[in-house]
Structure 1
Amino acid sequence: MRTLLPGQQCQVWIASLTGESTLLFSTDRILLEAPNWSLDGSSLILNGDGKLWSLNVASGGLAEVPLTGIPEINNDHVLAPDGETIFLSANDGHIYRGALNGGAVQRITSDDGSLHFLHGVSPDGKDLAYVGIEAGDFTRPGRLMTMPSAGGAATGVDVGPGHCDGPEYSPDGKWLYFNTESFSTTHGHAQLARIRADGTGFEQLLESRTVDWFPHLSPDGRCATYVRFPGGTEGHPADRPVAVVLVPTDDWTTPLHTWPLSGGQGTLNVNSWSPDSTRFAFVAYPLASPTEADTA
């Protein structure tokens, strides 16, 4: 479980389509990660210290979501379309379902010998998209998998031999967006991609020299965010000079705005768009006192 380094801050930012950014919350006590935006627009849902937290967007107040019956969670958590349920990946390698107001959770993945890292819920709430790590062996590439959200048999989606991560449904449910190393022979060179939910139409969204992770579409489907790592990065490590990138989905090659920061792991692992598609959240981890986020 990650913790802050000496002198390090955890900063939760909210950015807009116009390129503006506002510091909502800053702390040197807990390392928060991976904001989801609640369906009612009132709060961000994050993980930290193995627990789930709710951060009030208006007041900046932080409160634990009192879940029971679940091991320590990681930064792979996604809200269900009903606005009341959350699906979570825990450090035992399983996916759980719980209520946003707390209480007992239910495990929905089976003991199939793999680790399960959740990233997407279909718009109708019936299916999940996750990354499976066979035999818990991280030397093997992650595989794109789908399964019923109520539990049941998983299905693999062929996206080539390279490691993939972050599979997330488009707002219309027709596509899965993710990052993959299948377009390169260079280990670690993740690029953005998508494939139809029926397993056809696999295509690269952006060809770049940087290492690009976690594409997230806005609810209206018009824009997307992702995390850009320097070329040569392997995986999605923490505490690196990265940038959160905002693009229109009809032209992934032309950023609307970028936000350089210190981060990577935890910054934007899951979809953090507001319900009205005008704002999104991300997390930075600077080793200095809080300052206004850089924008370009």
Structure 2
Amino acid sequence: MAAWVSRLMIYDLDEGSAFPVLETEHEIAAPNWTPDGSALVVNGEGSLYWVELDAPELLEIDTGLCIKLNNDHGISPDGEVLYFSDHTFGGGAQIWRQDLGSDEDPVKVTQKRPSWYHGISPDGRMICYTAVREGLFGIYTSKPDGAQETCVIEGAHHYDGPDFSADGDWIWFNSDRTGASELWRVRPDGADLERMTEDGLVNWFPHPSPDGEHVVYLAYPEGTIGHPPGMHVALRLWSAKDKPVATLVELTGGQGTINVPSWSPDGRAFAYVEYAS
């Protein structure tokens, strides 16, 4: 995708439309919104960048010896800690944490690999991530320092994109455990597994809104394998109040568009990345 332009976008639910924040020839991906609403964090070619909304440009974040970050990252609810996945040291990705506003180096969270960060509970006491353990994909939780790693669900199929609901009572994720990738949710203790979509599309990366009203997710065409980049995809919205699922945007994207939680703090907008030739 080196010949493509990356366009960082914000979709406003009240307006029912999206607008561009930043366009760059660099390949950027996976926007997060900061808890204070002032900036976005994006991945770009192995690094992380701030994008201040009042003066949008790519401002590189110093992540110390970690220089091969993938697009799985996020910020704690109090805005004090940055989490990210990195594979600088080989052997598969591991999760790291870095205190923002400090000159200290990042600290490793997960000792086992591969582990890909995806979300943090609303109270900041638990992270959730995708991992492979003994050859099986699964959804895992641990304390923010990596203690008490717990398998929520695993199996012979793919499990990915975990993210907490606004009340912390559910973890949403995607899995192809019954065929094509669909959205599911489960309690953090592994109880009450529930399938949330069944529409023939290939659905990935569900992100519940902070107000508890919606879940935005990425939908690929029927028959898509994995979550490739550079495809015609849609961003769709599931609503908690028995409304039908709605397609909000059709775009060129996929991998990199909305891998991690990207809702604004008030739940009225979300960020994503689209690509253009």
- CA distance in 1 between partners of 2:175 and 2:142 (Å): 20
**Identity across matched positions, percent:** 36
Contact kept in structure 2, 1:120 and 1:130, CA below 8 Å:
yes
1:23 is matched with which residue? 20
SS at match of 1:283: strand
- CA distance in 2 between partners of 1:238 and 1:102 (Å): 34
1:254 is matched with which residue? 245
The one-character-per-residue Cα deviations of 1:79-125 (angstroms, maximum 9, x if unpaired) are 11111211111124110001344642111111x3x300111111221
SS at match of 2:276: coil
Contact kept in structure 2, 1:67 and 1:105, CA below 8 Å:
yes
Letter of the 1:67 partner, please give it. T
Which structure 1 segments of 5+ residues have no match?
Answer: 288-296
- Deviation of 1:264 after TM superposition, in Å, equals 0.2
Letter of the 1:148 partner, please give it. K
1:33 is matched with which residue? 29
- CA distance in 2 between partners of 1:206 and 1:99 (Å): 37
- CA distance in 2 between partners of 1:102 and 1:94 (Å): 21
The one-character-per-residue Cα deviations of 1:271-291 (angstroms, maximum 9, x if unpaired) are 10001111110001111xxxx
TM-score (norm 1): 0.87
- Deviation of 1:141 after TM superposition, in Å, equals 4.9
Runs of 4+ in 1 over 2 A off after TM superposition: 99-103, 158-162, 249-254
1:154 is matched with which residue? 149
1:105 is matched with which residue? 106
- CA distance in 1 between partners of 2:266 and 2:197 (Å): 26
> Could you say if the C-alpha distance between residues 71 and 44 of structure 1 is closer, same or farther in structure 2, counting changes exceeding 3 Å?
same
Aligned length: 271
Letter of the 1:105 partner, please give it. P
Trace 1:1-296 onto structure 2 (pairs within 5 A): 4-6=1-3, 8-17=4-13, 18-28=15-25, 30-91=26-87, 92=90, 93-101=93-101, 103=103, 104-110=105-111, 112=112, 114-134=113-133, 141-158=136-153, 160-184=155-179, 189-251=180-242, 253-255=244-246, 257-287=247-277
Give the root-mean-square deviation of aligned CA atoms: 1.6
Which structure 2 segments of 5+ residues have no match?
Answer: none
The one-character-per-residue Cα deviations of 1:192-231 (angstroms, maximum 9, x if unpaired) are 0100112111000111100000110110110121000011
Letter of the 1:267 partner, please give it. T
- CA distance in 1 between partners of 2:243 and 2:149 (Å): 31
Contact kept in structure 1, 2:32 and 2:40, CA below 8 Å:
yes
Contact kept in structure 2, 1:118 and 1:130, CA below 8 Å:
yes
- CA distance in 2 between partners of 1:153 and 1:262 (Å): 39
- CA distance in 1 between partners of 2:123 and 2:139 (Å): 19
- CA distance in 2 between partners of 1:95 and 1:171 (Å): 23
Contact kept in structure 2, 1:54 and 1:63, CA below 8 Å:
yes
Letter of the 1:35 partner, please give it. P
SS at match of 1:273: coil
SS at match of 1:81: coil
